[in-house]
Structure 1
Amino acid sequence: MTFPQRFTGKTVLVTGAGTGFGAEIAVRAAQEGADVAVHYRGSRAGAERTAQRVEEAGRKAFLVQADIAERAQIVRLADEVWSHFGRLDVAINNVGDVAREQMSWRDITEESIDHVLAVDIKGTLLCTHEFGDRMLTQGGGAIVNIGSTVVARGSARAPQYAAAKYGIIGLTKSYARAFAPTVRVNVFAPGFIETEATLGREDWKSGRGEQLRGDTPLGRIPRPEELAGTALFLATADASHMTGSFMVADGGYNMIGA
């Protein structure tokens, strides 16, 4: 398979690139010509596999570890990436906590609320703040925050997750205004994705997956590699007049729009 070379000579950072959607975004960026900073928090083995795939695509990989719920670690992460590559053209803020083990709103805990909001809102905000500030200094860049179409339908399963993804829209619009016109900031909102983690969920295995496929106009739930290039679109020259936007790819499930 041949890929468009939208990132030739560019550097791309993907947070949470050890597994799932983040790993596929990192690999796709490499297939399109980018050198890639592969971030992970705890999944070093997964990050090493992602880095190997980046190198197999003919590009350079750089592993960086950080807990993005802590500002000092985000600053260190940025220091390491800029020191290694000299600049960063694209940041994909993919890390998020979906409270995957919670099957009902009745099971919510204060600990889960705190962690989801700390990672999804605080972490994404601080990453956008730190990376965008440095991109302003270097004279350009693009940031893509990974959101979710849960903001259109809500989540009876995990309200804290829907609240967090709403927060990402607010912080994205705010920094898009703050950084314009030098650095663009957008949200990419996929619907359901058949990552290994999703496929392993009890509700998915007990019929939710089939129900969602039936309710999706395009009739299927994509694997993460199918949406990786879509997420990266927002960082390309073809999206040069997009900032503060919310772009959906969910097979028509939510049909949101004007």
Structure 2
Amino acid sequence: MTFPQRFTGKTVLVTGAGTGFGAEIAVRAAQEGADVAVHYRGSRAGAERTAERVEEAGRKAFVVQADIAERAQIVRLADEVWSHFGRLDVAINNVGDVAREQMSWRDITEESIDHVLAVDIKGTLLCTHEFGDRMLTQGGGAIVNIGSTVVARGSARAPQYAAAKYGIIGLTKSYARAFAPTVRVNVFAPGFIETEATLGREDWKSGRGEQLRGDTPLGRIPRPEELAGTALFLATADASHMTGSFMVADGGYNMIGA
């Protein structure tokens, strides 16, 4: 399979690239010509495998660890990436906690609320802040924050997750205004994705997946590699007049918009 070379000569950072959607975005960026910083928090083996795949695509990989819930670690992450590559053209803030193990709003805990908001809102905000500030200094760049169509339908299962993804829209619009016109900041909102973690969920295995496929106009739930290039679109020259936007790819499940 051939890929468009939208990132030739560019450097791309993907947070949470050890597994799932983040790993596929990192690999797709490499297939499109980018050198890639592969971030992980706990899954070093996964990050190293992603880095191997980046190198198999003929590009350079740099593995970096940080807990994005802590500002000092985000600053260190940025220091390491800029030191290694000299600049960063694209940041994909993919890390997020979906409270996957929670099957009902009745099971919510204060600990889960604090963790989801700390990772999804605080972490994404601080990454956008730190990476964007440095991109302003270097004279350009693009940031894509990974959101969710949960903001369209809400989540009876995990209200804290829906709240966090709403927060990402607010911080994205705020920094899009702050960084314009030098750095663009957008949200990419996928619907359901059949990652290994999703496929392993008990509700998914007991009929939820089949129900969602039936409710989706395009009739299927995509694998993460199918949406990796879509997420990266917001960082390309073809999206040069997009900032502060919310772009959906969910097979028509929500049909949101005007």
TM bin, normalised by shorter chain, reads over 0.9
Shift of 1:248: 0.0
Q: Give CA deviations for 1:57-90 in whole Å, capped at 9, x if unaligned.
A: 0000000000000000000000000000000000
TM-score (norm: length of structure 2) = 1.00
Q: In structure 2, the residue corresponding to 1:151 is in which secondary structure?
A: helix
Shift of 1:48: 0.3
Q: Which residue of 1 aligns with 2:155?
A: 155
Q: In structure 1, the residue corresponding to 2:207 is in which secondary structure?
A: helix
Separation of aligned partners in 2, 1:68 and 1:56: 28
Q: Give CA deviations for 1:205-224 in whole Å, capped at 9, x if unaligned.
A: 00000000000000000000
Separation of aligned partners in 1, 2:201 and 2:50: 23
Q: Give CA deviations for 1:230-253 in whole Å, capped at 9, x if unaligned.
A: 000000000000000000000000
Residue correspondences, number: 258
Shift of 1:178: 0.1
Q: Give CA deviations for 1:144-187 in whole Å, capped at 9, x if unaligned.
A: 00000000000000000000000000000000000000000000
Q: Give CA deviations for 1:103-124 in whole Å, capped at 9, x if unaligned.
A: 0000000000000000000000
1:209 counterpart = 2:209: yes
Separation of aligned partners in 2, 1:202 and 1:132: 39
Q: Which residue of 1 aligns with 2:36?
A: 36
Unaligned runs of 5+ in 2: none
Q: In structure 1, the residue corresponding to 2:137 is in which secondary structure?
A: helix
Separation of aligned partners in 2, 1:151 and 1:42: 28
Q: Which residue of 2 aligns with 1:56?
A: 56
Q: In structure 1, the residue corresponding to 2:38 is in which secondary structure?
A: strand
Unaligned runs of 5+ in 1: none
Shift of 1:46: 0.1
Separation of aligned partners in 2, 1:13 and 1:94: 10
Shift of 1:188: 0.0
Separation of aligned partners in 2, 1:83 and 1:49: 23
Separation of aligned partners in 1, 2:232 and 2:11: 12
Q: In structure 2, the residue corresponding to 1:214 is in which secondary structure?
A: helix
Shift of 1:22: 0.0
- 1:1-258 mapped onto 2 (5 Å cutoff): 1-258=1-258
Shift of 1:27: 0.0
Separation of aligned partners in 1, 2:20 and 2:164: 20
Shift of 1:34: 0.1
Q: In structure 1, the residue corresponding to 2:25 is in which secondary structure?
A: helix
Separation of aligned partners in 1, 2:257 and 2:67: 35
Separation of aligned partners in 2, 1:234 and 1:10: 14
Separation of aligned partners in 2, 1:166 and 1:202: 26
TM-score (norm: length of structure 1) = 1.00
Q: In structure 2, the residue corresponding to 1:12 is in which secondary structure?
A: strand
Separation of aligned partners in 1, 2:228 and 2:192: 13
Separation of aligned partners in 1, 2:24 and 2:11: 16
Shift of 1:21: 0.0
Separation of aligned partners in 1, 2:133 and 2:125: 12
Shift of 1:93: 0.0
RMSD: 0.1
